[in-house]
Structure 1
Amino acid sequence: MSGNERKAPGSRAEREKSVDEIYERIYVAILEHRLHPGTKLGEERLADIFGVSRARVREVLARLAHEQIVELVPQRGAYVAKPTIEQARDVFEARRLIEPAVLRRLVDTLTPEKVTRLRQHVELEADARRRGDKRAVIRMSGEFHTLAAELAGNSSLARTMRELCMLTCLIIFLYDAPTAQSCRDDEHQMIIDAVAKRDRGRAEKLMLEHLDHIESSLSLDDGNGEADLEAIFRA
Structure 2
Amino acid sequence: MNSFASASHTHSTALPFSPLRIPTEDLYPRLFDAILEQRINADSRFTEDSLKAMFSVSRADVRRVLTQLSHEQIMVLRVNHRPRVAAPDPNLIRQTLHARRLTENTLVRLACQQPHADGLKGLRSLIEHEQQAVEQGRQGAAIRLSGEFHLQLARMAGNVPLAHFLATLVPLTSLAIARCGHSTRSRCVWQEHVALVEAVERRDAAKAGMLMNRHLDQLEQTLLGPDLKHCAVG
**Aligned twin of 2:87:** 82
C-alpha distance in 1, partners of 2:60/2:126? 36
The answer on 1:139 being equivalent to 2:144 is: yes
> Match for 1:167 among 163, 172, 179?
172
Does the CA contact (< 8 Å) of 1:38 and 1:82 recur in 2? no
CA, structure 1 residues 167+183, in 2 after alignment: closer, same or farther (shift >3 Å)? farther
**Aligned twin of 2:20:** none
The answer on 1:107 being equivalent to 2:115 is: no
Does the CA contact (< 8 Å) of 2:90 and 2:232 recur in 1? no
CA, structure 1 residues 78+144, in 2 after alignment: closer, same or farther (shift >3 Å)? same
**Relative to total residues, which structure has the larger helix share, 1 or 2?**
1
C-alpha distance in 1, partners of 2:138/2:80? 38
Displacement of 1:202 after TM fit?
1.7
Question: Alignment identity in percent?
Answer: 37
Report the number of matched residues: 208
Gaps of 5+ in 2: 1-22
TM-score (norm 1): 0.73
Does the CA contact (< 8 Å) of 2:89 and 2:233 recur in 1? no
CA deviation string 1:26-79 (max 9, x = no partner): 234334554334544412312332445656544443332222221124543211
Bigger RCO (CA 8 Å, 6+ sep)? 1
> Match for 2:67 among 62, 70, 79?
62
CA, structure 1 residues 33+150, in 2 after alignment: closer, same or farther (shift >3 Å)? farther
C-alpha distance in 2, partners of 1:55/1:186? 39
Displacement of 1:185 after TM fit?
4.2
C-alpha distance in 1, partners of 2:125/2:67? 34
The answer on 1:195 being equivalent to 2:221 is: no
Gaps of 5+ in 1: 1-16, 226-235
CA, structure 1 residues 131+76, in 2 after alignment: closer, same or farther (shift >3 Å)? closer
* Backbone CA RMSD of aligned residues: 3.1
SS at match of 2:115: coil
SS at match of 2:88: coil
CA, structure 1 residues 92+32, in 2 after alignment: closer, same or farther (shift >3 Å)? same
**Aligned twin of 1:221:** 230
- Amino acid across the alignment from 2:108: L
TM-score (norm 2): 0.73
Displacement of 1:126 after TM fit?
3.1
Does the CA contact (< 8 Å) of 2:112 and 2:205 recur in 1? yes
Does the CA contact (< 8 Å) of 1:181 and 1:217 recur in 2? no
Highest CA radius of gyration, 1 or 2? 1
CA deviation string 1:101-160 (max 9, x = no partner): 221221122123322332333233334444444344323222211221222234443333
215-224 or 198-207, larger mean C-alpha shift: 215-224
